[in-house]
C-alpha cells in the first residue's frame, strides 16, 4: 500500500495496463511527452515509446474515430478527451459507432477493447466548459459502459477493469478530486468489478446514492444528519451503465427512503432513471417520495457555482425533509 492521489493512481493503472498487455495504447491531446494537462499520463511515452503513447491532433471526433478503428483491429486503445465538456464533437463516433459496433455487425466486429478516459465535473471555477457532467447523454446509449470512480483506490481498480473489459467503456474522472483525494492504494495490479455498486456507509433511515466527486458531499451531509440522529446508508454506484439495480433496491427495501444526488442538471439526469426504476421495484417499501438533489437546469455557471451545485447543505436539507415526510 502507498499513499497516492487520484492522478497517481490513474497513472499507475495506465503503467500497469500497458506493461501487462502490449496491445494497450494511450493517446489524446497533450498526453505524450508532456504527460497530459493533469499529468495523468506522465512518463508513459518515456516508458513505452512514442508508438504506444502519443499526442494526437486537436480533434475529438478524430481521437475516438481512430480509437474505434484501432479497437476493431484488435488493439486496446485508451483514448483521452481532455475535458468531458469537449466530448461532444465525438458524440457521433461514440453513440452511432462505438456503441453499436458489435450489435450491428452480428458480432463480426467489435470495439470492446476501447476505453475513453475523460475528466468531468465542477467545483473548480471551470465555468461552462470545464465543469460539465455529461454522463446521462451516454447512459441512454445501449452498448456503452459508463464508469465513475470516487477515490484513488477506486480509480485504479475500476480503470484497470475498464481497460480489460471486452466492451467499450467511458471512464469519467472527477477532476475536482484529482489531487484533493488521497488514500491508500495497493501497488500491485488489481481490478474492481464493473456494474457493482459499493455500500460505503451503513444506515437504517434513508439510502443516499451518488457517484464520483458527489460522494464526498453526500458523506458530509450524512455525517451532519448522523448528529441529528438520522442514520444514512450511502451507496457509490460506481458503474452507471449497466447499473446495479439490485444493490440499490435491497438498501431501499431496508431504509424505505431514497435520495439521489448528482452534479449534472436535474432534468434528464441519471437520477431520474434510478428514481423511476426504484419507484417501480420498491413501491410498497417507500415511506416518502424519492428525492433528487442535482445541479440546476442551467448551463454550469462561474460566479454562482455554490448556488448552482447540489452541495452538502442542499443534500442535508433534503435528507431531513425525506425523513420527516
Give the binding site for other proteins (CB under 8 A).
25, 51, 54, 56-57, 59, 61-75, 77, 89, 92-93, 96-97, 100, 102-110, 112, 142-143, 145, 166-167, 195, 242, 245-246
Which residue lies nearer to other proteins by CB, 71 or 170? 71
As a whole number of angstroms, the distance between CA 13 and CA 171 comes to 13
The CB density around residue 303, as the number of other CB atoms within 10 Å, is 9
Residue 216 phi, psi (nearest 5)? -60, -40
Q: How far is the CB of 114 from other proteins (least distance, A)?
A: 10
Check: CB of residue 40 under 8 Å from CB of residue 14.
yes
- CB–CB of 103/115 below 8 Å? no
Name the residues annotated as catalytic: 60, 130
Cβ-defined contacts of 104-112 (< 8 Å, 24+)? 109/72, 110/71, 110/72, 110/166, 111/67, 111/68, 111/71, 111/72, 111/168, 112/71, 112/165, 112/166, 112/167, 112/168
Q: Which is nearer to other proteins, 69 or 289 (CB)?
A: 69
Residue with cell 495496463: 17
- Which C-beta is closer to other proteins: that of 170 or that of 310? 170
Nearer to other proteins, 47 or 306 (CB): 47
Amino acid at each position: 500500500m502507498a499513499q497516492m492521489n487520484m492522478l497517481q493512481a490513474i497513472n499507475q493503472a495506465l503503467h500497469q495496463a500497458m506493461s501487462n498487455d502490449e496491445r494497450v495504447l494511450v493517446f489524446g491531446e497533450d498526453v505524450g511527452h508532456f504527460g497530459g494537462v493533469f499529468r495523468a499520463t506522465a512518463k508513459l511515452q518515456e516508458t513505452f515509446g512514442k508508438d504506444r503513447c502519443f499526442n494526437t491532433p486537436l480533434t475529438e471526433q478524430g481521437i475516438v474515430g481512430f480509437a474505434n478503428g484501432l479497437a476493431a483491429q484488435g488493439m486496446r486503445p485508451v483514448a483521452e478527451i481532455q475535458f468531458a465538456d469537449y466530448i461532444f464533437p465525438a458524440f457521433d463516433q461514440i453513440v452511432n459507432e462505438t456503441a453499436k459496433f458489435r450489435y450491428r455487425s452480428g458480432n463480426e466486429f467489435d470495439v470492446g477493447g476501447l476505453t475513453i478516459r475523460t475528466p468531468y465535473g465542477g467545483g473548480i471555477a471551470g465555468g461552462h466548459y470545464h465543469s460539465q457532467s455529461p454522463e446521462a447523454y451516454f447512459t441512454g446509449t445501449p452498448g456503452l459502459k459508463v464508469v465513475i470512480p470516487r477515490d484513488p483506490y477506486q480509480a485504479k481498480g475500476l480503470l484497470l477493469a475498464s481497460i480489460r473489459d471486452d466492451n467499450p467503456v467511458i471512464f469519467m474522472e472527477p477532476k475536482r478530486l484529482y489531487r484533493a483525494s488521497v488514500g491508500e492504494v495497493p501497488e500491485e495490479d488489481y481490478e474492481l468489478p464493473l456494474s457493482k455498486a459499493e455500500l460505503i456507509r451503513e444506515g437504517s433511515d434513508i439510502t443516499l446514492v451518488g457517484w464520483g466527486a458527489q460522494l464526498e458531499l453526500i458523506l458530509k451531509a450524512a455525517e451532519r444528519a448522523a448528529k441529528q440522529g438520522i442514520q444514512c446508508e450511502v451507496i457509490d454506484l460506481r458503474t452507471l451503465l449497466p447499473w446495479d439495480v439490485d444493490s440499490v433496491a435491497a438498501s431501499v427495501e431496508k431504509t424505505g427512503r431514497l435520495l439521489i444526488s448528482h452534479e449534472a442538471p436535474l432534468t434528464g439526469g441519471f437520477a431520474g432513471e434510478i428514481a423511476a426504476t426504484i419507484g417501480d421495484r420498491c413501491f410498497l417499501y417507500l415511506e416518502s417520495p424519492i428525492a433528487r438533489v442535482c445541479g440546476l437546469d442551467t448551463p454550469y455557471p462561474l460566479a454562482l457555482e455554490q448556488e448552482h451545485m447540489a452541495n452538502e447543505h442542499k443534500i442535508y436539507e433534503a435528507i431531513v425533509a425525506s425523513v420527516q415526510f
